Structure 1
């Protein structure tokens, strides 16, 4: 499985009280990758990145409440395949 993308580096605090997504790394990657795919000429400003982090953390919390996913990932650190399977965003691996 290969993922083709350009590289973007950011420091992400998904554990903030507002985001509340302490294990949301992979879900955040999907949400942010989708944003870049939809906005290929842009870089997110701070408020947009903050919103994406909150949105990805919310998606992660939704996945965390799914019994099937909780059984497979008791630590709630979902892998990329699971996040894509859950259709958090319309992404696929090529």
Structure 2
């Protein structure tokens, strides 16, 4: 049996900001239907898994299987620049999207 990844979801306090950051990383634009203040934002490349960003208040423990962005050298989102992003994270998402 073969499995396919259709969506990668990110819980975050500001979906618009985080989606634009990852848009630069993976080289695909944020869906233009979404604007600052939306509680959901999507990057949806045709024929590829979509990246789904949803607003979740900080400290929400409802879902214990959440992705937690790591920090390196004292840097944590949103202080990262795309250039500072670890090669492994960028490579992982590029593999999912290409």
* Same fold, TM-score > 0.5, yes or no: no
Q: Which has the higher contact order (CA 8 A, sep 6+)?
A: 1
If each structure's strand is expressed as a fraction of its own residues, which one has the higher value?
A: 2
